[in-house]
Amino acid sequence: MSHSPADLLITGCTVLVHDDQERIGFEQDAAIVVRDGRVESVTSAADAVGLAAVERIDARGQVALPGLINCHTHAPMVALRGLAEDLPTEEWFNDVVWPVESNLTEKDVELGARLACAEMIRAGVTCFADHYFSMDTVAAVVTECGMRAHLGEAYFSSQGPQGREKSLEFALRHRGSAGGRITTALAPHAPYTVTDTDLAATAQLALEHGLPVHLHAAENRDQTDTSLSRHGITPIEVLDRAGLLATDLLIAHGTGISDRDLPVLERASGHIAVATAPRGYLKFAWPDTTPIRALRAIGIPVGLATDGAASNNSLDVWESMALTSLVQKSTEGDPRWLTSRQALHHATLQSARAVGLGDSIGCIAPGRRADIVLVDLTGPHTQPVHDLAATLVHSARSADVRTTIVDGRVLMRDRELLTLDVPAVVRELGERLPALVDRSHGRRIQEYDT
Amino acid sequence: MSHSPADLLITGCTVLVHDDQERIGFEQDAAIVVRDGRVESVTSAADAVGLAAVERIDARGQVALPGLINCHTHAPMVALRGLAEDLPTEEWFNDVVWPVESNLTEKDVELGARLACAEMIRAGVTCFADHYFSMDTVAAVVTECGMRAHLGEAYFSSQGPQGREKSLEFALRHRGSAGGRITTALAPHAPYTVTDTDLAATAQLALEHGLPVHLHAAENRDQTDTSLSRHGITPIEVLDRAGLLATDLLIAHGTGISDRDLPVLERASGHIAVATAPRGYLKFAWPDTTPIRALRAIGIPVGLATDGAASNNSLDVWESMALTSLVQKSTEGDPRWLTSRQALHHATLQSARAVGLGDSIGCIAPGRRADIVLVDLTGPHTQPVHDLAATLVHSARSADVRTTIVDGRVLMRDRELLTLDVPAVVRELGERLPALVDRSHGRRIQEYDT
């Protein structure tokens, strides 16, 4: 241990830790020593008494968790929050979201991304996987606000080869930027909007450049049924045929993954992961949710996500954690399944793996990046504590996060955001909304037809 | 309008109002004048400028809603929050909750009720329907903390006739107490723990004394199936045969209400209502949820509830509102059903009717009791606002409630509780937990056998 002062010392908290079997436990009366953006050690509060540190946080009564990871979102879409309510998927896309997105400017994306980052930092999210347009702008916001992000420039085949090329160019240029906080992926939209040729070319580029791929696939049962009737194979089999299962692949949603897809996924030579955002599946009244139990049986990590706020209405990953547990119990008809500890495993190591950062984030342990949130459990709704995992998953809420830290830097302290000015963003975005939501032009950026 | 100062003047907020068709709308830049515990008027902020008031709240950027109503809970069970996790209903009752409840003392009930009231006031709940034991103690806590409550002393037939008599005695003695804030009900536990004879006697007492009845019935499909196989009739038909459908009856859960029950309920001569607490149905992996669409078709109001925190893990009615919308869409397979405005109607007038207070609470209008909560929508997760109803139901959270008012009295101001001392309650309750959760005695207060 170095003799120079630590950069940050967090004392008196309970720390969520993983043992060597990845079982979740809690170290009480602990301290976390942070140096050079990493966790140097997790020690006892008593042992930390004499330690020198540049910055100290007294976290008594709080629990330190690995920062939450939003494994699939479209951050700038917070600008459309509440604009397309109570609609089936097809009308949501064709009548509202895709017409409105034809108005989208870089300034809208910038303001949306700022608002989204503010929301996520306040909700204890330290990293997000974003799949959207004008991603240079999103990367700039991430750089400025201090979050970690896994970014991909989305494209449709309707854009011609330029879409694919732009996605590659973005991924290569930004990989490792913001002091390593930004990682990148190729981001074809989905098998129903990107041709087999483009998917195959993407797989090849991914392998050639060592890049992961992030896309929507088998989002719901309709898409799987349509794929089967049109092509005779499922969306997952389309990905396999295109070579995408040989890449490190993050699949958003996958509620349409069918039994015949499971051996295909199990045989994949790439690292495959799925992001689940259960709130939207309920809201769109999709018949299924992500088949987490089946995916677990074949070793596929499932990370937590919110999707964009235009469908999910918030970027509250904490809510996704609770809903994942509740919906999985209900769907499987088994109250013993997806316990709070399992939910926390999805929220931590599995989410870190889903965004390709399984070795650097997702747990609080020596050598890991210091992405940490401190959660206050002194409120009446989180007392008493008979089972801390249950308290965290089922009683605590995102608003109980008091402090959010990324790479050892405090981005929110005692609920005060330190890197973003929400009122200014809301004011400026508000002025732009009439132009953004105008649909009188009759254009849309794409047609939804599974 | 009187010339003496108003007791309370809330200015600058947006007010949720109901029109004469009970459609929900929002008055912007409004003011609420409160006098003698009632809403005297809802006016414009401009018109309120010159008004004198003893107490003023500047509520710019906030929305005033009728206080939320928790239509079915067991408030003191917050003491068991997180104690019985990931279990099927039968084990939850027989192995944990009913053994532990055999240790319950009045002091545990008192501390639990205080903690529960603190949690509810912080979450914007102004009224709750409680169905539990030692209800004199709960009534005392309600009197002290300023909430409104609809209370019933629960009983099983295993207690002998004393159970029923005690429930009646409680209901008569406390009705109208706490300056009218306490109303009461007879509270048989459920058709599976109370005999037909006791149910019939309860119905008769209810009619004789003008009291409503609050009980669990048709909680899940298992109970309905067991009732059919043992008695040849459903739990709802059991209630009908006992004469309970001629009383004003609040049925908790009702996820086991079947198609054949609907005409029975529709023919009822009493005011029938159902309380829905969807989180627990997911967590217990029950196959159904409350059939709200069918109940609406026959004119039965459905109020929002949390059940006790031993199953629901919180008393967060705001979450129940969002989950009701999401689960109903999913269950009915219809994203257009249970819109945010419908959810707000359940949260306001339907919940007020469910607890027998449909004429005095549930909307902000002249003459209604001043049970009001102020919700802050300036946070990044609730911006921008394209559709205020959607923002409230799907983006806002209970932690966004800043101020809670009952009968014109401020119980929480800017998130500070004014009538309860949470740290003291948590400390005292913590000391009692080892004795409370001890199950080594092998006793239980009752056996779960649907």
Span A208-231, pLDDT tens digits: 999 999 999 999 999 999 999 999
CB contact under 8 A, A285 and B80: no
Residue B222 shares a structural domain with residue B81:
yes
Residues of B in contact with A429 (CB under 8 A): 383-384
Residue B46 sits in a domain of what CATH number? 2.30.40.10
What pLDDT score was predicted for residue B2?
52
Contacts of B2 (CB under 8 A, 6+ apart): B35, B40
- Number of A–B residue contacts, CB under 8 Å: 197
Would you give per-residue pLDDT tens digits along chain B (450 residues)?
456 999 999 999 999 999 999 999 999 999 999 999 999 999 998 999 889 999 999 999 999 999 999 999 999 999 999 999 999 999 999 999 999 999 999 999 999 999 999 999 999 999 999 999 999 999 999 999 999 999 999 999 999 999 999 999 999 999 999 999 999 999 999 999 999 999 999 999 999 999 999 999 999 999 999 999 999 999 999 999 999 999 999 999 999 999 999 999 999 999 999 999 999 999 999 999 999 999 999 999 999 999 999 999 999 999 999 999 999 999 999 999 999 999 999 999 999 999 999 999 999 999 999 999 999 999 999 999 999 999 999 999 999 999 999 999 999 999 999 999 999 999 999 999 999 999 999 899 888 887
Q: Which residue type, as a one-letter code, is found at position B149?
A: A
Residue B280 shares a structural domain with residue B331:
yes
Q: Which residue, among A172, A135, A168, A173, has the nearest Cα to A151 in the 3D structure?
A: A135
Q: Which residues of A, range 9-38, sit inside 8 Å of B by Cβ?
A: none
Residue A14 shares a structural domain with residue A146:
no
Q: Is B281 on the interface with A (CB under 8 A)?
A: yes
Residue B224 shares a structural domain with residue B144:
yes
Q: Is B75 on the interface with A (CB under 8 A)?
A: no
Nearest chain A residue to B118, by CA: A380
Residue B157 lies in a domain: yes
Residue A136 shares a structural domain with residue A48:
no
Residue A299 sits in a domain of what CATH number? 3.20.20.140
CB contact under 8 A, B386 and A80: yes
Detail the DSSP E strand segments found in B219-345: 249-253, 272-276, 302-304
Nearest chain A residue to B282, by CA: A330
**Banded model confidence at residue A400, pLDDT cuts 50, 70, 90:** very high
Detail the DSSP E strand segments found in B93-147: 125-132
Residue A430 lies in a domain: no
What pLDDT score was predicted for residue B448?
84
Q: Is A391 on the interface with B (CB under 8 A)?
A: yes
Residue A100 shares a structural domain with residue A28:
no
Q: Which residue type, as a one-letter code, is found at position B442?
A: G
Residue B35 shares a structural domain with residue B159:
no
CB contact under 8 A, A339 and B86: yes
Residues of A in contact with B281 (CB under 8 A): 330
Residue A205 shares a structural domain with residue A253:
yes
Q: Is B3 on the interface with A (CB under 8 A)?
A: no
* Domains identified in chain B, total number: 2
Q: Convert the pLDDT of each residue in A290-341 to its tens digit.
A: 999 999 999 999 999 999 999 999 999 999 999 999 999 999 999 999 999 9
CB contact under 8 A, B330 and A285: yes
Residue A223 shares a structural domain with residue A339:
yes
Res A1 pLDDT > 70: no
Q: What is the DSSP annotation of B349-412?
A: IIHHHHTT-TTTSSS--TTSB--EEEEE--SGGG-S-S-HHHIIIII--GGGEEEEEETTEEEE
Task: Output the CA–CA distances (angstroms, integers) from residue A198 to A182, A204, B36, B66, in the order listed.
Answer: 25, 10, 71, 54
Q: Which residues of B, range 238-257, sit inside 8 Å of A by Cβ?
A: none
Q: Is the dihedral of CA A17, A19, A24, A27 positive or negative?
A: negative
Span of A24-28, A192-196, A441-445 with lowest mean pLDDT: A441-445
Q: Is A95 on the interface with B (CB under 8 A)?
A: no
Question: CA-to-CA distance for B240 and B231, rounded, in angstroms?
Answer: 14
Residue A186 lies in a domain: yes
Residue A329 shares a structural domain with residue A391:
no
**Residue in the block written with tokens 């119990």:** A329
Residue B155 lies in a domain: yes
Q: Which residue, among A79, A84, A108, has the nearest Cα to A94 in the 3D structure?
A: A84
Q: Is A160 on the interface with B (CB under 8 A)?
A: no
Determine the residue among A119, A313, A427, A433 to mutate to test chain B binding: the one whose Cβ has the most chain B Cβ atoms within 10 Å: A313
Q: Is B299 on the interface with A (CB under 8 A)?
A: no
Closest Cα of chain B to A331: distance in Å?
7
CB contact under 8 A, A282 and B330: yes
Residue B58 shares a structural domain with residue B79:
no
Q: State which residues form the domain around A406.
A: 6-66+369-417
Closest Cα of chain A to B320: distance in Å?
12
Residue A16 lies in a domain: yes
Query: Angle at Cα A69 formed by Cα A65 and Cα A74, nearest 5°?
Result: 155
Residue A441 lies in a domain: no
- What's the mean pLDDT in A144-149? 98
CB contact under 8 A, A115 and B383: yes
Question: CA-to-CA distance for B297 and B292, rounded, in angstroms?
Answer: 9
CB contact under 8 A, B81 and A383: yes
Instruction: Say if residues B80 and B310 touch (Cβ distance below 8 Å).
Output: yes
Question: CA-to-CA distance for A15 and A278, rounded, in angstroms?
Answer: 27
What pLDDT score was predicted for residue A450?
74
Closest Cα of chain B to A122: distance in Å?
8
B367, with CB counted inside 10 A (0-12, 13-18, 19+), is exposed
Residue B338 shares a structural domain with residue B348:
yes
Residue A432 lies in a domain: no
Detail the DSSP E strand segments found in A133-222: 148-155, 182-184, 187-188, 213-217
Residue B228 lies in a domain: yes
For residue B137 the two structure tokens come to: 């103690």
